[in-house]
Structure 1
Amino acid sequence: ADPALSRRIRVNLDIPNTLPPVYCDANAIHQVFWNLLLNSTESIEGQGCITICARCDPPLCSIRVIDDGRGISEDDIGQIFNPFHTTKGRGTGLGLAIVKRIIQDHGWKITVNSKEGVGTEFTIIINRETE
């Protein structure tokens, strides 16, 4: 990890150790979190915070990745999961499209809520009855 990054961005984990196991393709889900955390990191200018929380209220479990970065405009929010859509001026615009595909391939759902100047929250919803 980049030491300068770890001094600039605080990561909070709110994950109870009593969560039930979730069956998944670990490599694919690693890619999901890599992309979500990379996007969160890139959206934070200066000091910031990323929070990862997980909850389970059977049969549903949720994992949220929340940042206090610059947020996503209303114009872009409906397109962020589309392939080749980027607001960064660099990159391929495939990261979130890949995230959505992996989540859907698992039979899960992903939602996003964002407000410019406030931050963004991605929520992954897992229905354990369909695992």
Structure 2
Amino acid sequence: MHIRRSMTALALTGAAAGALAFGASPASAAASAITYDCTSTGQVCIYYNSSSYGYGAVFRQTSDVPNYAGRYFSAGRNGSAGAGVEVKNHAAAVDSWVASNFTVYFNSNYDCSVACQTVSAYNTVNLNANIKNNNASGRVT
């Protein structure tokens, strides 16, 4: 246990030194890093904010959702900004922990006639301008 803590402390010190070497302050380096709310396969975390704003509140999705109305963000490991806000038309980023693609749709019922964005398996992305704050449904595709 003591060895594991020492190795973790050494790794963190090295990461901070690396961030300083590239001109980033430790605070700004930490602000851009995601602290995972999804931690097991089969989950998708949808975030209220994009990476540049620290992600904020989270909605954990474990099955397809044809309409995000009536579903709400909760405070998570990345903060509480957006907690209590409805997920529909308020999402900015997706953290996928599924082995398939995950698609976010502009319209309810997985309708891509206006716009949609597909996130590849095990990927974390900010939603594009067509989908950010214009999300109505999401499913594994």
| TM-score, normalized by the shorter chain, greater than 0.5 | no
- Structure with higher RCO (Cα < 8 A, 6+ apart): 1
TM-score (norm 1): 0.27
* Higher helix residue share: 1
